Chain A
Amino acid sequence: MSLLRMEQVSHRYGKRRVLSRQAERTVLQDVSLTLETGMCLGLLGKSGAGKSTLGRILLGLERPKAGRVLFEGQDIYGTHPKDYRQDIQVVFQDSFAAVNPKLTAGQIIAEPLTNFTRLSPEALEQKLITLIEQVGLTRADLAKYPSAFSGGQLQRICIARAIATNPKLIVLDEAVSSLDMVNKAMILKLLRELKETYDLAYLFITHDVQAAQALSDQFMILEQGQIVGHYPTPQAFDQATDPYVSAIKDAMLATHPRKRTIRK
């Protein structure tokens, strides 16, 4: 049994109003994918391709118009929707918008713990210290408010919140896209370590090919709501020649400045 299966998921947006009927826009069309334990699937695509919507559907935040999402064989939009919450977590792109400015780092990380576990105040504090040190911050940071952190540090807090309840799958929705090169490399390293420690599965949603390659075992290309390419190994992705992949690869800069050419 796969950890997570998406079967023929389709989704449309569009407000149906009483008087004016707005045209609906198809965002996802018959998307199917499978994630196994401990595997990272890189989901690549241009902006507007439907990547984030796919993530929201997978997180149980947006019921798809058609298709099923099975987590460990159970439909997450079925009758008992809360069972999977503890096992699927998320890290968003904009870490400043992903944390409540009125809560301290400790309160932010404690939220999933208070929802899913019954820890004594001392055990909770101990767990918070373990978590914040695991993502490379100090216990003194627990008492600080989001405004005291940089984007990279906040992203670490978001990661600590995501791993707090030992999930099986984390959706990384452009999780490193708004970070600078140094922070990006450090966060990717942290994510790789956590993946090995906890045998985590990632759905790595990104438009950044280099970041995807640094973390992913499999690759999928999403184009206008449809899966247009699936590469089960990094090698297959490297050698891929179809137009979607080369378009995305073309968009990235060569590592060495001399190899960069101006494209028309």
Chain B
Amino acid sequence: MNVPLGRPRLLERLSNQRLILIGCSVFLGLLFLAALAAPWLAPHDPFLVNLAVKLQDPSWTYPLGTDHLGRCTLSRLLYGARVSLGFAVLIFASSLLIGLLVGTLAGYIGGWVDQLLMRFCDGVMAFPSLILVLGLVGIFGPGLKQVIIALMLVQWVYYARMFRGLIMTLKEKNFIAAARVNGSSHWKIFRTHLLPNILPPLLVIGTLEMGWAIMDISAMSFLGLGVQSPAAEWGAMIHEGKSYIRSNPELMIYPGLMIMLVIASFNLLGESLSERFGVTKQTK
């Protein structure tokens, strides 16, 4: 039933793609800027322990209060954004590149190369990705570097699968055949014919995947496998705050809220981009 009832004005406006696109872009853009400018924006040293002011309520000196070691929560959130966003971008970019390379090779060459690469991907995809990451971190040992390598090793297969499909559909088009007849090298075909045509889906999936990357890093840090204290990171902050959930729940709420907002923004942005470009989201 689609009866206008007067109330859903807000919902209507929320579903306005342009508004979502602009709103999420502005929010994420500001957050990236804030993360970059953290040393100037942060009111305090995020690592400075001062037990005299531990677990304080918000005040003019400490806008979001302090944690159990007297460190400024706002400063830690800002510095945490650097870690969360920075490494999410790193994981996303590197797994995207590997996936693009492998997927293009498999889709373009086909034959036994395709069979070999895709059977390997099937093997990796047979496990839930978080379990596989946990297992790999267990082998490598805890630490941010190990978590990033493990996430990269697991994430690229999803990109590879997707790019293979896209390349295979494109390869059947006659303009690829025409390009080969025209004497274009394989590299030139990839550069001028394949890449520009997979860019829109790449943008959409990339935005959606950024949310996952942030979630993965935070989850690993929360489990104590990723970022090690005293470094500031949102997942690690939730981890440290959980002992004070009854007395000072805000220690978990602030970083949790940040994670939620960022992931929601990336997902909404991805959805509205996919609507804009007419890209159907593929189920993982």
Contacts and interface: CB of A to CB of B under 8 A. Distances in A.
A60 B180 CA distance: 9
A112 interface: yes
Contact of A161 (B115, B178, B193): B178
A99 B175 contact: yes
B173 interface: yes
With a 10 A CB-CB cut-off, give which of B173, B182, B183 has the most chain A CB atoms. Answer: B182
A100 B192 contact: yes
A60 B183 CA distance: 11
Interface in A40-59: 56, 59
A17 B182 CA distance: 32
Given A100-B193, A101-B197, A61 B181 contact: yes
B182 A97 contact: no
Interface residues of A, number: 27
B175 A90 contact: no
Interface in B167-185: 173-175, 177-184
B196 interface: yes
Contacts of B181: 59-61, 85, 88-90
Contacts of A261: none
Contacts of B188: 115
Contact of A98 (B178, B183, B196): B178
Interface in A44-97: 56, 59-61, 82, 85-86, 88-90, 92, 94, 97
A18 B115 contact: yes
With a 10 A CB-CB cut-off, give which of A86, A88, A111 has the most chain B CB atoms. Answer: A111
Contacts of A148: none
Interface string A87-131: 011101010011111110000000110011000000000000000
A86 B183 CA distance: 7
Contacts of B178: 90, 92, 98-99, 158, 161
Contacts of B196: 100, 102
Nearest to B182: A112
A100 B197 contact: yes
B193 A85 contact: no
A98 B182 contact: no
A197 B259 CA distance: 69
Contacts of B177: 56, 59, 61, 90, 92
A115 B174 contact: no
Contacts of A61: 177, 180-181
Contact of A85 (B175, B183, B192): B183
B184 A92 contact: no
A165 to B, nearest CB: 8
A90 B181 CA distance: 7
Given A17-B115, A100-B193, A111 B173 contact: no
A82 B183 contact: yes
Given A90-B178, A102-B197, A103-B192, A97 B173 contact: yes
Nearest to B175: A100
B192 to A, nearest CB: 7
Nearest to B195: A102
A115 B181 CA distance: 11
Contacts of A60: 180-181
Contacts of B183: 82, 85-86, 112, 115-116
Contacts of A17: 115
With a 10 A CB-CB cut-off, give which of A88, A115, A161 has the most chain B CB atoms. Answer: A115
Contacts of B179: 100, 111
Contacts of A92: 174, 177-178
Contacts of B175: 97-100
Contacts of A158: 178
B174 A161 contact: no
A18 B178 CA distance: 31
Interface in A152-171: 158, 161
Nearest to B184: A115
A17 B178 CA distance: 28
A115 B182 contact: yes
7 contacts: A61-B181, A90-B177, A99-B175, A112-B183, A115-B182, A115-B188, A158-B178
Given A98-B173, A100-B197, A161-B182, 12 more contacts: A17-B115, A82-B183, A90-B181, A94-B174, A97-B174, A100-B192, A102-B196, A111-B182, A112-B182, A112-B183, A115-B184, A115-B188
